[in-house]
Chain A
Protein backbone atom coordinates (compact mmCIF):
# COMPACT_ATOMS: atom_id res chain seq x y z
CA UNK A 1 0.00 0.00 0.00
CA UNK A 2 0.89 3.66 -0.12
CA UNK A 3 1.58 3.94 3.58
CA UNK A 4 2.03 1.91 6.74
CA UNK A 5 -1.30 0.52 7.85
CA UNK A 6 -2.04 -0.41 11.47
CA UNK A 7 -5.07 -2.21 12.80
CA UNK A 8 -7.03 -1.78 14.93
CA UNK A 9 -6.80 1.97 15.30
CA UNK A 10 -8.36 1.66 18.74
CA UNK A 11 -8.53 -1.29 21.09
CA UNK A 12 -10.12 -1.36 24.52
CA UNK A 13 -9.56 -4.46 26.59
CA UNK A 14 -9.74 -5.64 30.15
CA UNK A 15 -6.81 -6.31 32.41
CA UNK A 16 -5.47 -9.80 31.92
CA UNK A 17 -6.70 -10.23 28.34
CA UNK A 18 -4.59 -11.06 25.27
CA UNK A 19 -4.18 -8.48 22.50
CA UNK A 20 -2.80 -8.54 18.96
CA UNK A 21 -1.87 -5.43 17.00
CA UNK A 22 -1.17 -5.67 13.29
CA UNK A 23 1.17 -3.68 11.07
CA UNK A 24 1.17 -3.77 7.27
CA UNK A 25 4.33 -2.00 6.08
CA UNK A 26 5.05 -0.31 2.80
CA UNK A 27 5.60 -2.91 0.10
CA UNK A 28 9.29 -3.67 -0.36
CA UNK A 29 10.40 -2.22 2.96
CA UNK A 30 12.60 -4.83 4.60
CA UNK A 31 13.00 -3.05 7.94
CA UNK A 32 10.07 -2.85 10.36
CA UNK A 33 9.97 -1.23 13.78
CA UNK A 34 7.55 -1.14 16.70
CA UNK A 35 7.49 1.78 19.12
CA UNK A 36 5.30 2.59 22.10
CA UNK A 37 4.19 6.12 22.91
CA UNK A 38 2.74 6.89 26.30
CA UNK A 39 0.82 10.08 26.95
CA UNK A 40 3.09 13.13 26.95
CA UNK A 41 6.16 11.14 25.96
CA UNK A 42 8.18 10.50 22.86
CA UNK A 43 7.97 7.11 21.18
CA UNK A 44 10.08 4.37 22.79
CA UNK A 45 11.65 1.60 20.77
CA UNK A 46 10.31 -1.92 21.24
CA UNK A 47 11.62 -4.16 18.46
CA UNK A 48 13.21 -4.06 15.01
CA UNK A 49 12.84 -6.65 12.25
CA UNK A 50 15.11 -7.02 9.25
CA UNK A 51 13.18 -9.34 6.98
CA UNK A 52 11.64 -12.13 9.01
CA UNK A 53 14.00 -12.04 11.94
CA UNK A 54 14.02 -9.82 15.00
CA UNK A 55 17.37 -8.04 14.73
CA UNK A 56 16.92 -6.11 17.97
CA UNK A 57 14.27 -6.80 20.61
CA UNK A 58 16.01 -4.96 23.42
CA UNK A 59 13.08 -2.58 23.93
CA UNK A 60 10.46 -5.20 24.75
CA UNK A 61 9.61 -4.46 28.39
CA UNK A 62 9.05 -8.04 29.54
CA UNK A 63 8.13 -11.51 28.33
CA UNK A 64 4.44 -10.61 28.02
CA UNK A 65 5.35 -8.79 24.82
CA UNK A 66 6.17 -10.68 21.65
CA UNK A 67 6.26 -9.78 17.95
CA UNK A 68 6.44 -11.81 14.76
CA UNK A 69 6.95 -11.16 11.08
CA UNK A 70 6.71 -14.65 9.55
CA UNK A 71 6.83 -13.74 5.86
CA UNK A 72 8.89 -10.57 6.05
CA UNK A 73 5.99 -8.22 5.45
CA UNK A 74 3.07 -8.01 7.90
CA UNK A 75 4.00 -7.96 11.58
CA UNK A 76 1.93 -8.68 14.67
CA UNK A 77 2.69 -7.37 18.14
CA UNK A 78 1.26 -9.66 20.79
CA UNK A 79 0.65 -8.71 24.40
CA UNK A 80 -0.31 -11.36 26.93
CA UNK A 81 -1.99 -10.77 30.30
CA UNK A 82 -2.41 -7.07 29.62
CA UNK A 83 -1.92 -4.60 32.45
CA UNK A 84 -3.19 -1.05 32.84
CA UNK A 85 0.35 0.21 32.34
CA UNK A 86 0.34 -1.21 28.82
CA UNK A 87 -2.11 1.49 27.78
CA UNK A 88 -0.39 3.55 25.08
CA UNK A 89 -0.27 4.18 21.36
CA UNK A 90 1.69 1.48 19.58
CA UNK A 91 3.40 2.79 16.47
CA UNK A 92 4.76 0.78 13.59
CA UNK A 93 7.28 2.08 11.05
CA UNK A 94 8.98 0.63 8.01
CA UNK A 95 11.97 1.62 5.92
CA UNK A 96 14.03 0.46 2.95
CA UNK A 97 17.24 0.26 4.92
CA UNK A 98 18.53 -0.25 8.40
CA UNK A 99 19.50 3.31 9.23
CA UNK A 100 16.43 3.55 11.42
CA UNK A 101 15.61 7.07 10.56
CA UNK A 102 13.66 8.18 7.57
CA UNK A 103 11.26 5.38 8.38
CA UNK A 104 7.61 5.91 7.52
CA UNK A 105 5.27 5.65 10.50
CA UNK A 106 1.73 4.41 10.64
CA UNK A 107 -0.97 6.26 12.56
CA UNK A 108 -0.74 3.87 15.46
CA UNK A 109 -2.97 1.58 17.45
CA UNK A 110 -4.29 3.11 20.65
CA UNK A 111 -4.55 0.45 23.35
CA UNK A 112 -6.57 1.08 26.48
CA UNK A 113 -6.48 -1.49 29.25
CA UNK A 114 -9.28 -1.10 31.78
Chain B
Protein backbone atom coordinates (compact mmCIF):
# COMPACT_ATOMS: atom_id res chain seq x y z
CA UNK B 1 0.00 0.00 0.00
CA UNK B 2 1.15 3.50 -0.71
CA UNK B 3 1.97 6.02 2.01
CA UNK B 4 3.18 9.59 2.30
CA UNK B 5 5.38 11.21 4.93
CA UNK B 6 5.60 14.93 5.49
CA UNK B 7 8.29 15.24 8.15
CA UNK B 8 7.72 18.90 8.94
CA UNK B 9 4.53 19.63 10.90
CA UNK B 10 5.07 23.38 11.03
CA UNK B 11 7.40 25.71 9.11
CA UNK B 12 7.87 29.46 9.51
CA UNK B 13 9.50 31.58 6.82
CA UNK B 14 9.87 35.29 6.27
CA UNK B 15 8.03 36.91 3.41
CA UNK B 16 10.31 36.99 0.37
CA UNK B 17 12.36 34.01 1.52
CA UNK B 18 12.51 30.76 -0.37
CA UNK B 19 10.49 27.74 0.68
CA UNK B 20 10.89 23.99 0.46
CA UNK B 21 8.33 21.57 1.89
CA UNK B 22 9.39 17.95 2.09
CA UNK B 23 7.41 14.94 0.98
CA UNK B 24 8.49 11.30 0.87
CA UNK B 25 6.33 8.56 -0.55
CA UNK B 26 6.31 4.81 -0.38
CA UNK B 27 5.16 2.88 -3.43
CA UNK B 28 6.67 0.09 -5.48
CA UNK B 29 6.35 1.67 -8.91
CA UNK B 30 6.08 5.19 -10.24
CA UNK B 31 3.16 6.83 -8.51
CA UNK B 32 1.05 9.80 -9.38
CA UNK B 33 2.04 12.62 -7.01
CA UNK B 34 0.20 15.76 -5.99
CA UNK B 35 0.45 18.82 -3.80
CA UNK B 36 -2.69 20.46 -2.41
CA UNK B 37 -3.10 23.63 -0.36
CA UNK B 38 -5.82 24.20 2.21
CA UNK B 39 -6.53 27.65 3.58
CA UNK B 40 -8.59 28.01 6.78
CA UNK B 41 -12.23 27.20 6.19
CA UNK B 42 -11.65 26.36 2.55
CA UNK B 43 -11.44 23.22 0.51
CA UNK B 44 -8.32 21.65 -0.90
CA UNK B 45 -6.89 23.29 -3.99
CA UNK B 46 -4.58 21.44 -6.36
CA UNK B 47 -1.21 23.18 -6.75
CA UNK B 48 0.47 20.73 -9.11
CA UNK B 49 0.70 17.10 -10.12
CA UNK B 50 3.24 14.64 -11.51
CA UNK B 51 2.20 11.73 -13.69
CA UNK B 52 5.26 11.08 -15.86
CA UNK B 53 7.85 12.83 -18.01
CA UNK B 54 9.76 15.88 -16.87
CA UNK B 55 10.56 15.47 -13.20
CA UNK B 56 10.32 19.20 -12.49
CA UNK B 57 6.69 20.20 -12.43
CA UNK B 58 5.37 23.74 -12.48
CA UNK B 59 2.16 24.59 -10.69
CA UNK B 60 -0.06 27.50 -9.86
CA UNK B 61 0.86 30.46 -7.63
CA UNK B 62 4.56 30.17 -8.53
CA UNK B 63 5.06 26.74 -6.93
CA UNK B 64 7.12 23.92 -8.40
CA UNK B 65 8.00 20.40 -7.30
CA UNK B 66 10.68 17.93 -8.26
CA UNK B 67 10.18 14.18 -8.44
CA UNK B 68 13.28 12.27 -7.35
CA UNK B 69 12.81 8.55 -7.76
CA UNK B 70 16.11 7.68 -6.06
CA UNK B 71 15.02 9.52 -2.92
CA UNK B 72 11.30 8.70 -3.15
CA UNK B 73 10.68 12.40 -2.74
CA UNK B 74 8.45 15.05 -4.25
CA UNK B 75 9.42 18.29 -2.51
CA UNK B 76 7.51 21.50 -3.07
CA UNK B 77 9.41 24.74 -3.64
CA UNK B 78 8.77 28.42 -4.13
CA UNK B 79 11.55 30.99 -4.69
CA UNK B 80 9.87 33.86 -2.85
CA UNK B 81 7.05 33.35 -0.39
CA UNK B 82 4.15 35.81 -0.06
CA UNK B 83 2.13 36.36 3.11
CA UNK B 84 -0.91 34.94 1.33
CA UNK B 85 0.88 31.57 1.02
CA UNK B 86 0.28 30.89 4.72
CA UNK B 87 -1.83 27.73 4.75
CA UNK B 88 -1.69 23.96 5.23
CA UNK B 89 0.03 22.00 2.49
CA UNK B 90 -0.65 18.36 1.76
CA UNK B 91 1.33 15.95 -0.38
CA UNK B 92 -0.64 13.03 -1.81
CA UNK B 93 -0.09 9.92 -3.89
CA UNK B 94 -2.17 7.67 -6.10
CA UNK B 95 -0.64 4.33 -6.88
CA UNK B 96 -1.34 1.58 -9.38
CA UNK B 97 -4.94 0.86 -10.23
CA UNK B 98 -6.18 2.59 -7.12
CA UNK B 99 -8.04 5.82 -7.67
CA UNK B 100 -7.92 7.08 -4.12
CA UNK B 101 -5.54 9.74 -2.88
CA UNK B 102 -3.40 8.91 0.12
CA UNK B 103 -2.46 12.10 1.92
CA UNK B 104 0.35 13.02 4.26
CA UNK B 105 -0.44 14.65 7.58
CA UNK B 106 0.30 18.09 6.20
CA UNK B 107 2.73 20.94 6.83
CA UNK B 108 1.42 24.19 8.23
CA UNK B 109 3.22 27.19 6.73
CA UNK B 110 3.42 30.42 8.65
CA UNK B 111 4.77 33.53 6.92
CA UNK B 112 6.20 36.37 8.96
CA UNK B 113 6.30 39.91 7.62
Contact = CB atoms under 8 A, between A and B. Distances in A.
Contacts of B100: 33, 45, 48, 56, 59, 100
Interface in A43-67: 43-45, 48, 50, 55-56, 59
Given A99-B94, A102-B34, A48 B43 contact: no
Nearest to B92: A101
Interface stretch (B11-19, B64-72, B103-111): B103-111
A107 B111 CA distance: 23
Nearest to B95: A100
Report the interface size class on chain A.
Answer: 20 to 34
Contacts of B60: none
Contact of B90 (A31, A43, A55, A106): A43
Contacts of B103: 42-44
Interface string A10-47: 00000000000000000000010101000011111100
Central interface residue in A43, A55, A106, by most chain B CB within 10 Å: A43
Central interface residue in A31, A91, A101, A108, by most chain B CB within 10 Å: A101
A105 B47 CA distance: 12
Interface string A90-112: 01010000111111111110000
A79 interface: no
A102 B100 CA distance: 11
Contacts of A59: 100
Nearest to B36: A105
10 contacts: A42-B90, A42-B103, A42-B104, A48-B100, A56-B99, A91-B43, A99-B32, A100-B32, A100-B101, A105-B43
Q: 5 tightest CB-CB pairs across the interface, nearest first? A: A42-B103, A100-B99, A45-B100, A100-B94, A105-B44
Interface of A: 4, 31, 33, 35, 40-45, 48, 50, 55-56, 59, 91, 93, 98-108
Given A48-B100, A100-B101, 13 more contacts: A33-B99, A42-B104, A43-B103, A100-B100, A101-B32, A101-B33, A101-B34, A101-B46, A101-B94, A102-B46, A103-B46, A105-B45, A108-B43
